[in-house]
């Protein structure tokens, strides 16, 4: 029998997962992210001479020295906590933006770049589960369910996913059983072609569960 779920979820009581509030960093953070995303693209596509590599390495080392004194714990810095920025301001995430965020489903616009290429200018297959897992989390939040962990995530690849094209990712809950929420998601190109689809199970955390 499914575990009972309260009629009204208390988002302050969702296992041992911290509650992270949106961040409002200075405009410089958005500029920094834009530069870092471009740097990621160049890091996997540039082929300069030996001296340029050495100077680039020195520049990166200087940037590390500049930022290292300001390292903070998870959930304190702005990364991942700025909803209005691409990928919520987290460089790990593909640069998506939210188009629709409703209880019956979510929609994202996402554009992959050279950094995400696995081969032959196609998006690496391992990047798509990362996108879908993010979509699943948003679906849970939009539906008003408490914080949940991904119990499983299955991806079917239908067509090659291109870079430098704005794609559409959608997701929704298909069934709810107590702590369980079964979810599905799709990724489509501008012509509506299905590139990949996913289904998964999101499990509500127990009290104290990390």
97-139 per-position pLDDT tens digit: 999 999 999 999 999 999 999 999 999 999 999 999 999 999 9
Q: Is 9 inside a domain boundary?
A: no
* Host H or E run for residue 140: helix 127-142
pLDDT value, residue 2: 40
22 assigned to some structural domain: no
Could you tell me if residue 20 is inside a domain?
A: no
pLDDT of residue 10: 54
Position 189 pLDDT exceeds 80:
yes
pLDDT tops 50 at residue 190: yes
Domain count, the chain: 1
CB neighbours of 144 closer than 8 A, spacing ≥ 6?
Answer: 9, 103
> Average model confidence (pLDDT) for the chain?
92
What phi and psi, each to the nearest 5 degrees, are found at residue 153? -145, 120
Q: Residue 186 maps to which CATH number?
A: 3.10.129.10
Domain around 148: 27-204
Q: Out of 42-46, 72-76, 119-123, 161-165, which region has the weakest mean confidence (pLDDT)?
A: 72-76
Q: Is the dihedral of CA 138, 139, 143, 149 positive or negative?
A: negative
| Of 208 and 139, more confident | 139
Q: In the prediction, which pLDDT does 4 show?
A: 39
Quickly count: other Cβ atoms within 10 Å of residue 124's Cβ.
Answer: 14
Check residue 206 and give its pLDDT. Answer: 86
* pLDDT at 162 exceeding the cut of 70: yes
Closest CA to 134 of 110, 118, 156: 110
Q: Quote the pLDDT of residue 187.
A: 98
209 in any annotated domain:
no
The pLDDT score that the predictor gives to residue 154 is 98
Q: What is the pLDDT of residue 8?
A: 46
pLDDT band at 7 (very low <50, low <70, confident <90, very high): very low
Asked if residue 142 is part of any domain, the answer here is yes
Whether the per-residue pLDDT at 5 is higher than 70: the answer is no
With pLDDT > 90 as the criterion, what percentage of the chain qualifies? 85
Whether 3 maps to a domain, the answer reads: no
């Amino acid at each position: 029998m499914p575990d009972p779920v309260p009629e009204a979820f208390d988002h302050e009581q969702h296992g041992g997962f911290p509650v992270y509030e949106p961040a409002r960093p200075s405009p410089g953070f958005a500029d920094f992210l834009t530069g870092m995303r471009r740097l990621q693209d160049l890091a996997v596509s540039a082929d300069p001479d030996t001296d340029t590599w050495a100077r680039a390495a020195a520049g990166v080392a200087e940037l590390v020295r500049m930022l290292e004194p300001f390292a903070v714990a998870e959930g304190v810095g702005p990364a991942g906590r700025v909803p209005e920025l691409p990928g919520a301001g987290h460089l790990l995430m593909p640069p998506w933006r939210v188009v629709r965020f409703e209880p019956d489903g979510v929609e994202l616009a996402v554009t992959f770049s050279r950094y995400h290429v696995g081969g032959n200018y196609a998006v690496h297959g391992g990047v798509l589960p990362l996108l879908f897992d993010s979509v699943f989390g948003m679906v849970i939040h939009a539906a008003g369910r408490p914080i949940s962990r991904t119990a499983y995530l299955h991806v079917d690849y239908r067509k090659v996913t291109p870079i430098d094209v704005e794609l559409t990712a959608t997701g929704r809950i298909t069934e709810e059983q107590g702590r369980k929420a079964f979810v599905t998601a799709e990724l489509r190109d501008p012509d509506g072609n299905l590139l990949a689809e996913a289904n998964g199970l999101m499990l509500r955390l127990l009290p104290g569960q990390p």
